[in-house]
Amino acid sequence: MATKKTTKPKTDDYTREDEVSKMLHCPITEKEKAKAASRLAECIETGKALEEERKATMKDYTARKERLIEQIGILSRSVKSGEELRPVPCTLTLNFSKQTADLVRNDTGKLVESRPLTPEEIEDGATAILPFPD
């Protein structure tokens, strides 16, 4: 800060004047107003683009977080139960005589499921055993 002058007036007052800068309201010209309006429009457009970018980023973040939460759920159930779902090769045997469907694991030979045939399976089986037309 530059000191301009120090004066000792004829009275007992002691003063000092310094040059300072202070933000004050000042009128602007039409040209300055137009330039500010143009900058304002650019800022608004930039703000809109930034908001769209934020939405896209949040959508990606949300999807990634949901996948992580799903994976945590799967792993925590596996740890708690000591089991996990895996694709296992099996053989499905449709017994049309007994009208049952048996699902057997190929690796252990263990019966996984035994159920009645569905109407569609019965119909498909009936079609399969019909004699071929001449």
**Per-residue pLDDT tens over the stretch 40-79:** 999 999 999 999 999 999 999 999 999 999 999 999 999 9
Classify residue 111: in a domain, yes or no.
yes
Q: Are residue 39 and residue 75 in the same domain, yes or no?
A: yes
pLDDT, residue 15, reads: 81
User: 109 and 73: one domain?
Assistant: no
Q: Give the per-residue pLDDT at 122.
A: 86
**Local structure of residue 22 (DSSP, 8 states):** -
Q: With bands split at pLDDT 50, 70 and 90, how would you rate the model's confidence at 80?
A: very high
Domain-located, residue 64:
yes
Q: What are phi and psi of 73, to 5 degrees?
A: -60, -45
Residues 73 and 103 in one domain: no
DSSP annotation of 84: -
Res 129 pLDDT > 80: no
Shared domain for 67 and 101, answered yes or no, is no
Residue 58 is assigned to a structural domain of this protein: yes
The verdict on residue 11 lying in a domain is: no
The chain-wide mean pLDDT, for the chain, equals 88
Grade residue 128 by pLDDT with cuts at 50, 70 and 90.
low
Q: Tell me the backbone φ, ψ of residue 78, rounded to 5 degrees.
A: -65, -45
What pLDDT is stored for residue 14 in this prediction?
82
Count structural domains, the chain: 2
Domain holding 107, by residue range, is: 90-129
Domain check: are 81 and 61 in the same one? yes
What's the pTM value of the predicted model, to 2 decimals? Answer: 0.45
Other beta carbons less than 10 A from residue 100's beta carbon:
13
Q: What is the pLDDT of residue 6?
A: 57
Q: Determine the Cα–Cα distance for residues 53 and 60; give it in Å rounded to an integer.
A: 11
